[in-house]
Amino acid sequence: MDLRDKRALVVGLGKSGVASALFLKSRGARVTVSDSKPEAELRNEILLLLEHGVTVETGGHGDRTFRGQDLIVVSPGVPFDAPQLIQAREQGEQVIGEIELAAQFLPGPIIAITGSNGKTTTTSLVGEIIATGNFPTLVGGNIGTPAISFVDQAGPATWTVLEISSFQLETIAEFRPKIAAILNITPDHLDRHKTFANYVNAKARIFENQRSDDFTVLNGDDVNTADLADRVQAQLFWFSRKREVEKGACVRGAHIYFRDGDRETGIMPLAELPLKGAHNLENVLAGVLIGTLVGCQPEQIRHAVQTFKAVEHRLEFVARAAGVDYYNDSKATNVDATIKALESFPANIHLILGGKDKGSDYAILNDLLKQRVKRVYTIGAAASKIESQIRGAAEIEHADTLENAVRKASETAVAGDVVLLAPACASFDQFQSYEHRGRKFKELVHSLVMARSN
């Protein structure tokens, strides 16, 4: 892609939008950025872009801004069906996302990992495994560092491991990962995708450009994921914690194995896994499989898994106060993620639920709530909807804010109980991000511990 003197528009000034604008400018494009947020909320980003000669539009998207562009790069937070983008495509303008832009320039193989849950943990683990295998490795995408930022760091032998969201997959064109993995698919982001079928189809785009010398990795235990097998054109490998597979990673007895037809390799005993919960066993199986496909040796994979630390905001132990354990799973932004968090504890849970609703059905939680949860503390904009759908399954305390929820839970919980933030919702009603929400939860818990120690 020749960018010199091309007119390029970047829509959305998140991390990937800023990185895309700076990259395009560095390649000689004439760059404009447009964001609907007011100027006051984007002061730092604006100053950085202006220093590099990028034109900035804030407070809305002007129709004229979108006309006559050679390339439009859309940030993941911007709906692909926004009127200006529909009109741009109708006029023949090229509209892509930052992931597609990066893929045009990254010189080495790409590993792309998506799924409703477990993406960040698995992406981080895969990065650790491949690095332990002594391969040049970069880790980013939806996990933090935009893929476009890696172009100048990567070489032909560098494996770029990317967490990819459904929003990012909406805007690909020729994106072709060497290894594409779908961990699971459960209802999420229906406020944006409208239907579950649309969401599934967005996830399936991760392997649509692969060829016979590439690899697709699917979860054999997840029906929605397994149903995509007929669409795969690459070499298909499975991971499963429930059954043995002919090609892929699986559990037999108390050990993890990699199998490829008649060839079987023992990787490690389950007793050595450092991560809590059945869902994390699935994440490890996916990591073992991908690492093996890259060429890592069993002892290297085993060491990387043994030493892997849980990712922040993913079932993260925060503290123990008066015999009560506090866990931060702020990344549990959908119902299925909350189910996985609840399944990690046998009983006596005080659960904090709520935030910005994404069109979810919270009644799915009711059986687990009855079995394992002492009390639910509801917060945020979705509180009333959640309360109406789980009423009768557990005691409910309308807490409104996270501060109130932590305080009320700490007053009610007794030694041996667990206070769990696993909200099943997005964070954007009261917080800037799930990370912001998780950090606030940890601050509140640590303040509580300090107060009780004085």
**Tokens at 312, concatenated:** 């922040």
Nearest to 179 by CA among 114, 264, 243: 114
The answer to whether 259 and 287 are in contact (CB under 8 A) is no
| Beta pairing partners, 139 | 161
Q: How do strand 349-354 and strand 324-328 relate by DSSP bridges?
A: unpaired
Q: How far is residue 397's CA from residue 376's CA, in Å, rounded to a whole number?
A: 6
Give the helix/strand (H/E) hosting 179. Answer: strand 179-182
Q: How far is CA 186 from CA 227, 235, 315, 336, in A?
A: 13, 24, 19, 7
The answer to whether 283 and 311 are in contact (CB under 8 A) is no
The answer to whether 118 and 283 are in contact (CB under 8 A) is yes
Of 25, 119, 408, 440, which one is the catalytic site residue?
119
One-letter amino acid of 362:
Y
One-letter amino acid of 5:
D
Q: How far is residue 30's CA from residue 68's CA, in Å, rounded to a whole number?
A: 12
Nearest to 284 by CA among 186, 183, 216, 214: 183
Of 61, 189, 303, 358, which one is the catalytic site residue?
189
The sheet with strand 255-260 has its strands ordered as 137-141, 159-163, 110-114, 179-182, 215-219, 235-240, 247-252, 255-260, 263-269
Q: Is 65 helix (H, G, I), strand (E, B) or coil?
A: helix
Query: DSSP letters along 245-306, please?
Result: -SEEEEEETTEEEEEETTEEEEEEEGGG--S-SHHHHHHHHHHHHHHHHHT--HHHHHHHHH
- Give catalytic status of residue 142 as yes or no: yes
Give the helix/strand (H/E) hosting 326. Answer: strand 324-328
Q: What are phi and psi of 20, to 5 degrees?
A: -65, -45
Label each residue of 100-142 as H, E or C.
Answer: HHHHHHCCCCEEEEECCCCHHHHHHHHHHHHHHCCCCEEEEEC
One-letter amino acid of 438:
G
| Beta pairing partners, 32 | 9, 55
- Give catalytic status of residue 119 as yes or no: yes
Active site residues: 119, 142, 189
